[in-house]
Amino acid sequence: MSTRGAGRAQHARTTSRWLVLVLLLIVALLLAVALGTITLSPAAVWNALFERGDPAAITVVQVLRLPRAVLAALIGAGLGISGAALQGTMRNPLAEPYLLGVSGGAAVGAVMAVALGLSLTLVPIAAFVGAIVAVVIAFFVAHAAGTGGDARILLMAGVVVGAFANSVIMLVLGTAPSNVFRDAMWWMMGSVAAATWTQSGWLVGYLVLGGGALLLWARQIDVLALGDDTAAALGVDPDRAARRIYGAAALVAAATVSAAGLVGFVGLVVPHIVRGIGFQRHRPLLVGSALAGASLVVLADVVARTIRPPAELPLGAVTAIVGVPFFLSRLRRLA
Amino acid sequence: MIRFDDVVVRYPRASRDALAGVGFTAPRGRLTAVVGPNGSGKSTLVRALLGRAPLASGQVLLDDRPIASASRADVAKRVAVVTQREELAFPMAIDEYVALGRFPHLGGWRGARAADREAVAQAMTRAGVDTLARDGRRLQELSGGEWQRVRLARALAQGGEALVLDEPTTFLDIAHEMAVFELLHELTAERLTVLLVSHQLNLVARFADEIVLLHEGRIAASGTPDDVMRASVLERVYEWPLVVTRDPAVGAPALLPLRVRRHT
């Protein structure tokens, strides 16, 4: 094949990959708006989006399902982009956004808020503060060890902070009344049931800020993925670049956690799936992981609320159940 | 030109200095080889050049300007380095990997231009990995030697006036090892500064213009291959009996480590 022919074939492959990811997200969003206790036809969904037709359908779509689907998509996008950036920077396929103490810190914040009987509107803020505090502690611990940018030390610091957070949670919940225990557990299992446009608005802000920074530094992640010495040889200060990327990834993860609790598996598995379909460089990988992560969480939420209505399954459990088959199908390619 | 000016490197909590005052110059258009036993400070020298080793005193200069005073990106445009170790965490195509050598020139956003693509294609041909890329091989499938050559291609794609290589011929068979040394020789003819860290004393003796022999963080000997390849010097540094002969075919000094008879 001529070089030009090979180039064209490559271009066609890239285009079709993007098409698949975008179409998947559109289908996922449509399903999320159409399916539920009242199932709507595509036409009814279309009309309701423009405030036409059945008023009940308009309420269901615009008030109940759309905000929820959008929030789910944003959560997935944030976890996907954050996971892809962390895996590349840490050169670790097991890295995920909840490392660095994000999940543990957020959980401590949320559980404290629930246990202290604070208003439920304050729980997300407490979770966000908890996550940020935990990340700062992890950074501080790694810095005190004299290796602020060393991925392994930072990972261990994050794991230790997470373990400490878990013990704090157990101490608080062990003596808490049953309603506090239940509320806290539900929060930790993740949910977008209480989605509002305000929440989505905030999350968009953090995504633009943190995700935008990660996209800006995407080529540095390409280089960091080759190792610290090689990155230095290519003109990147590995410690400084890694610190900035961890910070931005943690910010995005903390924002998703404060909006919907802990939604596991997404940040770990989505980057692998997206790499598996052929994305190598981190800029397309980050965007692809955002799209795929959004689709995964939206679909998982559809399953969570339609499989046994009116009861809802924990979103975090469903993301894992939906994600595992995808992951297994790619595992052969990863090996 | 790369100059090490009385460089002292001290790692935290280490019992002795990794480099205890090393000074020499790798001039343009010359192949300068750094040799020495394990732990003599060869790789630390490369890390000092990269700003990755804690300099207690001294400095590394690029054309008489301290590297520490220039931005890393500017240094990377001028000096390409193949470090000793590198492990790939994720799958990648060979040409994508070699193209990462253009990062110092492209920065965060600029797309690859014709000149960048040309540099990548030329680097792959010179390092002999263009056929691997054409066969659609992925980096994960490569042998150790092929991976070394792909890394060399990445450094060649980086361009610049100096090339620094830390053990580039580990895992290479005889033909590929010779090809790499011939390529380095060609590059010096193109007025590049080539600084090579190697264990292959006999090949270094044939190709290098100047050899720096390190021992316990200090220079034990330096000069032309004839100056350095002396049995008395090498025996002391490597702590092993050996003879230095002259290769009858090419006339270069050649080292032959001797067997020692163990007492039972």
Domains of chain A: 3-334 (1.10.3470.10)
- Mean pLDDT over each residue of chain A, to the nearest integer: 86
Of A187, A197, A282, the closest CA to residue A231 belongs to A282
Give the one of A88, A230, A275 whose C-beta lies nearest to B86's C-beta.
Answer: A230
What pLDDT does A149 receive?
A: 57
Q: Distance (Å, rounded) from C-alpha A331 to C-alpha A321? A: 16
Q: A-contacting residues of B 1-20, CB under 8 Å?
A: 12
Residue B263 included in any domain: no
Work out the pLDDT band at B42, boundaries 50, 70, 90.
Answer: very high
At residue B17, the 3 state secondary structure works out as: coil
For chain B, what is the domain count? 1
Instruction: State whether residue B217 is helix, strand or coil.
Output: coil
Partner residue facing A223 (CB), from B12, B82, B100 = B100
Contact residues, A window 86-125, toward B, CB-based 8 Å cutoff: 87-88, 91-93
CB contact under 8 A, A275 and B103: no
Please name the residue of chain B whose CA is at the shortest distance from the CA of residue A215: B108
Mind listing the pLDDT tens digit for each residue in B192-246?
Answer: 999 999 999 999 999 999 999 999 999 999 999 999 999 999 999 999 999 999 9
Q: What is the mean pLDDT of chain B?
A: 91
Q: Which residue of B has its CA nearest to A237?
A: B72
Identify whether B151 is part of a domain.
yes
Give the best residue of A1, A2, A230, A282 to mutate against chain B (max B CB count within 10 A).
A230
Residue B264 inside a domain? The answer is no
Q: How confident is the model at residue A333 (pLDDT cuts 50, 70, 90)?
A: low
Q: What is the rounded distance in angstroms from the CA atom of residue B70 to the CA atom of residue A57?
A: 64
Size of interface A-B (CB pairs under 8 A): 85
Tell me the nearest-neighbour CA distance from A120 into chain B, angstroms: 42
Which residue has 């291609």 as its token pair?
B153
B190, pLDDT greater than 90 = yes
Q: What are the helix (H) ranges across chain A?
A: 3-34, 42-49, 55-59, 66-90, 102-115, 123-144, 151-174, 178-189, 197-206, 212-216, 218-224, 228-233, 238-260, 266-276, 282-306, 315-334
Sheet holding B210-215, edge to edge: B79-82, B162-166, B193-197, B31-35, B210-215, B218-223
**Residue of B86, B90, B135 to mutate, testing the A interface (most A Cβ within 10 Å of its Cβ):** B90
* Residue B50 covered by a domain: yes
> Token pair for residue B120?
């990548």
Those of residues 77-116 in B touching chain A at CB distance below 8 A are 77, 79-93, 96, 100-101, 103-104, 106-109
Instruction: Evaluate the CA torsion angle A277, A282, A283, A288 in order and state its sign.
Output: positive
A106-110, A204-208, A265-269, B191-195: lowest mean pLDDT where? A106-110
Is residue B262 domain-resident? no
Of residues A294 and A9, the one with the higher pLDDT is: A294
CA distances from A68 to A42, A49, A59 (A): 18, 14, 13
pLDDT of residue B47: 93
pLDDT above 90 covers a percentage of chain A that reads: 33
A253 vs A260, B202, B257, CA distance in Å? 11, 55, 59
Q: What percent of chain B has pLDDT over 90?
A: 70
A331 touches chain B (CB under 8 A): no
Question: Higher confidence at residue B171 or residue B235?
Answer: B235
Residue B137 scores a pLDDT above 70: yes
Flag if B87 and A93 touch (Cβ within 8 Å): no
The residue among B188 and A239 whose pLDDT is bigger is: B188
* Complex ipTM: 0.91
A226, B88: Cβ pair inside 8 Å? yes
Q: pLDDT tens digits, residue range A69-103?
A: 999 999 999 999 999 999 999 888 888 887 778 88
- pLDDT for A19-77, tens place per residue? 999 999 999 999 999 988 888 888 888 888 888 888 888 888 888 899 999 999 999 99
Check whether B38 has a pLDDT greater than 60: yes
Taking CA–CA distances from A232, the nearest residue in chain B reads B50
pLDDT of residue B264: 57
Kindly report the number of other CB atoms within 10 A of residue A10's CB atom.
Answer: 12
The answer to whether the beta carbons of residues B200 and B211 sit under 8 Å apart is no
Contact assessment for residue B168 and residue B178, using Cβ atoms and an 8 Å cutoff: no
**CA distance, residue B229 to nearest chain A CA (Å):** 31
Q: Are B100 and A220 an interchain contact pair (Cβ–Cβ within 8 Å)?
A: no
Cβ <8 Å between B50 and A233: yes
Q: Look up residue B109 and give its two tokens.
A: 């956003």
Residue with tokens 């996922």, as numbered in its chain: A28
The CATH number of residue B249's host domain is: 3.40.50.300
The parent domain of residue B234 ranges over: 2-257
The beta-carbon neighbor of A227 closest among B73, B86, B93 is B86
User: A97: number of CA atoms within 13 Å, CB side?
Assistant: 39
Q: How much is the pLDDT for B48?
A: 94
Q: Tell me, what amino acid is at A223?
A: V
Q: How far is residue A192's CA from residue B97's CA, in Å, rounded to a whole number?
A: 40
Contact A219 B86 (CB under 8 A): no
Residue A280 has its nearest CB partner, among B52, B96, B155, at B96
From A93, A228, A237, residue closest to B89, measured CB to CB: A93
A1 has a pLDDT exceeding 60: no
Asked whether the beta carbons of residue A217 and residue B108 sit closer than 8 angstroms, the reply is yes
Q: Residue B80 and residue A233: Cβ atoms within 8 Å?
A: yes
Question: In this predicted structure, what is the pLDDT of residue A6?
Answer: 65
Find, in chain B, the residue whose alpha carbon is nearest to that of A89. Answer: B89
Residues of chain B with pLDDT > 70, as a percent, come to 99
The average pLDDT across A293-315 equals 90
Residues whose CB falls within 8 Å of the CB of residue B78, separated by 6 or more in sequence, listed in order: B62, B160, B161, B162
> Is A249 in CB contact (< 8 Å) with chain B?
no
Residue B12 lies in a domain: yes
Residues 6+ apart with CB under 8 A from B94: B124, B129, B132, B133, B137, B138, B139, B142, B150
d(CA A256, CA A316): 13
Tens digits of residue pLDDT in B51-83: 988 899 999 999 989 999 999 999 999 999 999
Chain B residues with CB-CB distance to A93 below 8 A: 89-90
Kindly report the nearest CA distance between residue B258 and chain A, in angstroms: 36
Residues in B closer than 8 angstroms to A83, CB to CB, are none
| CB of B158 less than 8 A from some CB of A | yes
Q: Could you tell me the pLDDT band of residue A284, with boundaries at 50, 70 and 90?
A: very high
Residue B160 C-alpha, separation from nearest chain A C-alpha, in angstroms = 12
Stretch A138-150: mean pLDDT: 74
Q: Does B75 touch chain A (CB under 8 A)?
A: yes
Task: Name which of A92, A217, A234 is nearest B103 (Cβ-Cβ).
Answer: A234
pLDDT at A5: 64
